[in-house]
Copies of this chain bind each other. A is one copy, B any other.
Amino acid sequence: MESVNRYINQNSTRFVAQLKDWLRIPSISTDSRYKAEVARAGEFIAGDLREMGFKVETVPTAGHPIVYAEWLGAAGQPTALVYGHYDVQPPDPLDQWVSGPFEPAERNGNLYARGATDDKGQLLTHVKSVEAWLKTEGRLPINVKFLIEGEEECGSTNLESFIRSNRERLRCDCVVVSDTSQFAPGLPAITYGLKGLVYFEVVLQGPKQDLHSGMFGGSVANPANNLATIIAELRDSRGRVQLPGFYDEVVPLADWERKQFAELPFDEAKFREFVGLEKLVGEEGYTTVERKWARPTCDVNGMTSGYQGEGAKTIIPARASAKISFRLVPNQDPAKIVASFREFVASRCWPGVRNEVRQFGATPAVLVSVDSPSMQAAVRAVEAGFGRKPVFIREGGSIPVVGTFKRELGVDTLLLGWGQNDDNLHSPNEKFSLADFHRGVRASACLWEELARSTMK
C-alpha cells in the first residue's frame, strides 16, 4: 500500500488535470445535440482504463453507449463491480454560473464544473485508485469490473436490460457506487439505506367539458373536489398514510439506528432556514432525520385542474389530475402498494366520475447490512482515506439501479459518497472539494486491499 499511496500523492495534480479534461466534455445525455460529446466522454474513460491494462468494451445501446471494463487477474479473490456514469445534467440556467459549466475552475479548494461531483469526479477516484495499484504493484488485490453508463441523467433507459442480459459477465461479490454525499464536511458517511418509490398520475374525468358553475353547480360531480377528497384521505395531517396495510411490512428502526441518527450533528434550525419554513411537521413519534430517512411518505408532486389564469372563471372543470408518489422503506412491496392505491382511488370516485391511474416506476427500498464483511471493509477504507470513521446514514431518495443489482446479481451495493450536501448537483455552480477527491482516491485504493482481506467471498 505504501508505494500505492506514494503514487497517489505524487500524481494528484495530474489526476485533477485529467478530471478537468473530462469535465470539459459537455456530455449532456438528455439533449440529442450533444450525442457525439456524450460518446466522447465515454471514450475518454474507456481509453484511460484500457491504457492501464483493463479489458474494455464500449457497448452501443439504443441510446448512449455503456462502457464495460474488467481486470480479472486476482484469481481466487473476490470481485467488486464499480458502477458510475459519465453523462451529466444540462447546465441551465447558464447565467447563474460564476464560471462556465464546462470550463472547470478552482476556487476555495473546490473544483467547479457540471459533473464535478455527479458523477465524473466521484467515479474517477476509483479509476485513479486502480491505476495507482496497477502502475506500482502491477496488480489489484481483487478482481474489479467497471460498469459506466451514459444515460443516468436521462432515465437509464438501457441499463436494466443490459444488466439482465449480462448477468454472467457482471457477476461480482459486491457493487461499489460513489454518487452520494458525506453527512457533512469532515464527517464521511456510508449510505446503507435508500427509500423506494412508486409514482402515479391520477386523472379524474367528470363532465365531458368545462361547465358553467352557476348553471350546473350542485347537480354534477366536480372532479377537482373529488380529487382533493381522495388526496386528503390518503394521509393524515402529520403524514401518516391511510392506505390499508401500508405499514404492515415496514421494518421498524433499530435501536442502534435511532441512537446513531440522534448523535449526528443535524442542525434543525439551519434545516428550517434552508427549506424556508418556520415550523416542521411530520409523523408523530419520529425525529426529522428519522422521517427523512426511514419513514414511508406520501406526497403530491403536482396538481392541475380547470382555470389557472388570473382572476375568476366560474367553471366546473371537466377533469382534474395529480401526480402522487410514495417513498417506501424496507420491506414494503411496491406491487402491493400499487394495487392498494388503485383500489383506494377507484373506490372513492363520486357517481359519474371516471378515473385513470397511470404508474411511473415502482422501486423497492434498499437496506444493506452494516455488519457484512464488505461493509466492514468499506468502513476501514473510508477511515483510512478520510481520517475518520464514517457514520452510517440512510437517504430519502431512491437509486433504482441498486435494486436492480440486488435483484439481477444478488449482491449488495456499497454507497460510498465522497460529495457534500451543498455540492449543487443538478444546479448551477456544481462543485467537488479537491480534498474530498484526493481522500476518495486514497479510500478507494485501500478498499481493494480491505476487500481482499475480508471474508466477503
A interface with B by C-beta (< 8 Å): 195, 197, 199, 201, 206-209, 211-222, 224-229, 231-235, 237, 239, 271, 275-283, 288, 291-292, 295-308, 311-317, 320, 322-323, 325, 327, 350-353, 360-361, 395-398
Contact = CB atoms under 8 A, between A and B. Distances in A.
A280 B327 contact: no
A275 B237 CA distance: 35
A213 B308 contact: no
Contacts of A305: 300, 302-304
Nearest to A223: B300
Contacts of A315: 301-302
A54 B323 CA distance: 62
Contact of A312 (B219, B237, B280, B361): B361
22 contacts: A197-B214, A212-B396, A213-B299, A214-B397, A217-B297, A218-B239, A219-B288, A219-B291, A220-B282, A221-B281, A225-B298, A225-B299, A225-B300, A227-B228, A228-B231, A231-B232, A277-B353, A299-B316, A307-B323, A311-B360, A312-B361, A313-B323
Given A222-B299, A281-B352, 10 more contacts: A218-B296, A219-B288, A220-B275, A224-B322, A225-B231, A225-B234, A227-B228, A280-B351, A311-B360, A313-B323
Number of copies of this chain that the complex holds: 2
Max chain B Cβ within 10 angstroms of own Cβ: one of A212, A291, A352, A353: A352
B211 A275 contact: yes
B308 A302 contact: yes
B232 A352 contact: no
Q: Which of A297, A315, A323, A395 has the most CB of B within 10 A?
A: A323
Contacts of A283: 218
A11 B113 CA distance: 83
Contacts of A225: 231-232, 234-235, 298-300
A217 B324 CA distance: 12
Q: Ordered nearest first, which 5 A-B pairs have the shortest CB separation? A: A208-B276, A214-B397, A232-B232, A228-B231, A302-B306
Contacts of A395: 214-215
A378 B363 CA distance: 70
Contacts of A291: 218-219
